[in-house]
Amino acid sequence: MAASRHLPKLPEKQDWSSKEIMKEIKKVDEKDLAVKTAAQAEQILEQEKEVIAPVAEEAAPEAVAAPGQPGPTGPQGRGGRKRGAGDRKPAAKKSSSLTDSGFIEKVVSINRVSKTTKGGTRLAFSALVIVGDGKGKVGYGLGKAGEVATGIKKALAAAKKQMIYIPRRGTTITHEIIGQCGSAIVLLKPASEGTGVIASGAVRAVCDGAGISNILTKCHRSNNPINVVKATFDGLSRLKAIRAVVQEVKPADTKEVPNASPSA
């Protein structure tokens, strides 16, 4: 291990000739060549640190530790940040999807539509919105206006007027059902706790608005968001309450017929 090469500390003098500077550098080279053991090299390095340390403190009093190197207060992690367990910040809570009105509002799709008239072509925007309270009540609405914000407001007002109640069993639906609208067919199946919402964007928005967090779905044929939403509402609106389902599954009580006594 050889000591790092550095320029010698020259005594104070205004003018230095090139020969004098070369002599001083030669002395340092001879000193480096004299290092034969690791202990001697470490001793020279410590002497250099003692000379450099005061200068470094004056130049940068608040030095930042390099990534992966120990800092002034202890071992630090990547980027010089302390990785102690006690200094970890708690995870930020996810913001609730409920709006100020107390409903879950989700925009499913926004389309640009045009209408050709005698004076020219009129452009407008149509919005499909889902509104629900997360407790079983959900509705959808369509709004069209010249601006996107106005179209969404119209859709929200229409969705709040036609909300329906969906019977549930815990966090899933009561039984399997198929909904249809036009060429769109949606299969809805109950799922166990922890399954999650296995659905596309349009069906997922309806389930989130109704408070259904465990369900299995499958869309067949058409993928038009409007028809898919209508097919989902068609299936959910025909769901039966859990009591009605249990009564249908329960077998009818059979009366025992007494055995006839043998004829004498």
How do residues 136-187 score in pLDDT, each as one tens digit? 999 999 999 999 999 999 999 999 999 999 999 999 999 999 999 999 999 9
Model confidence at 10: pLDDT above 70: no
Beta strands (DSSP E) in 120-176 are 120-132, 137-145, 164-165, 168-169, 172-173
Model confidence at 87: pLDDT above 70: no
Give the model's confidence band at 264: pLDDT under 50 very low, under 70 low, under 90 confident, else very high: very low
Q: Yes or no: say if 41 and 2 are a contact pair by the CB < 8 Å rule.
A: yes
Higher-confidence position of 6 and 236: 236
The pLDDT value recorded for residue 94 is: 42
**Percent of the chain whose pLDDT exceeds 90:** 50
* Residue 11: strand, helix, or coil: coil
Task: Compute the mean pLDDT over every residue in the chain, rounded to the nearest whole number.
Answer: 76
pLDDT, one tens digit per residue, over 188-218 is 999 999 999 999 899 999 999 999 999 999 9
User: Which tokens go with 113?
Assistant: 């539509």
Higher-confidence position of 252 and 219: 219
Statement: the pTM of the whole predicted model exceeds 0.95: no
User: Which tokens go with 95?
Assistant: 């913001």
Q: Poorest-confidence range of 115-119, 228-232, 256-260?
A: 256-260
Q: Is 187 exposed, middle or buried (0-12, 13-18, 19+ CB in 10 A)?
A: middle
Contacts of 203 (CB under 8 A, 6+ apart): 186, 217, 219, 228, 229, 232
pLDDT, one tens digit per residue, over 35-80 is 555 566 567 667 666 655 554 455 454 444 455 555 555 555 455 5
Three-state SS sequence of 189-255: EECCCCCCEECCHHHHHHHHHHCCCCEEEEEEECCCHHHHHHHHHHHHHCCCCHHHHHHHHCCCCCC
Looking at residue 114, its amino acid is: S
